Amino acid sequence: MKIQIINGPNLNLLGKREPGIYGSEGFEPYLETLKSLFPEIEISYFQSNVEGEMINKLHEVGFDYDGIVMNAGAYTHTSVALCDAIAAIKTPVIEVHISNVYSRESFRHHSMMAKSCKGVITGFGLKSYELAIRSFL
Ligand code: DQA
């Protein structure tokens, strides 16, 4: 089984960025934890602050991977283009968020992409990614 994780803007700063909201662990060490939790799965990781690069990655993996776990960061709330890309591909996408977006500002309550996703997991810290991968199993 092949799963692609895609992280969007500012998520390269996990561990340093607003630790009260996003925690103090960086994503790379957490990725090692994920890989050890799911040794049977081939987990690939991509992060970009650039919307078009995220779309290119969706196109690249979206016809032969088994699942995509995507945290599009703030683009979640704004991007018609990412929403269209998710609708265009075959691989199911699970939208994840580290924070509980519903307990935050109202502009975070709407997701442009949720309707094209298989499901949404929000508010479990980095564990949101583990829960998303489990749901693909
Ligand atoms: C986030 C929530 C978004 O609203 C925010 O813009 C992010 C991170 C999360 O993982 O909690 O960058 O997607």
pLDDT in tens, 70-83: 999 999 999 999 99
Interval 48-63: pLDDT, tens: 999 999 999 999 999 9
Over residues 1-22, the pLDDT tens digits come to 999 999 999 999 999 999 999 9
The whole-number pLDDT of residue 37 equals 98
The tally of domains found in the chain comes to 1
Between CA 34 and CA 127 the distance in angstroms is 9
Q: Is 98 annotated as a binding residue?
A: yes
Kindly give the residue spans of alpha helices, DSSP state H, lying in the chain: 19-22, 27-37, 51-61, 80-88, 127-136
Q: 46 is written with which tokens?
A: 């991509």
Determine contact, residues 133/38, Cβ cutoff 8 Å. Answer: yes
* Mean pLDDT to the nearest integer, 14-32: 96
Distance CA 82, CA 56 (A): 10
The answer to whether 110 is a known catalytic residue is no
CATH of the domain at 41: 3.40.50.9100
The reply to whether the predicted model has a pTM over 0.90 is yes
Query: Which residue segment(s) compose the domain that 77 sits in?
Result: 2-136
109 noted as active-site residue: no
Q: Are 59 and 85 in contact (CB under 8 A)?
A: yes
Report residues whose beta carbon is within 6 angstroms of any ligand 1 atom.
Answer: 10, 71, 73-74, 76, 97-99, 101, 108
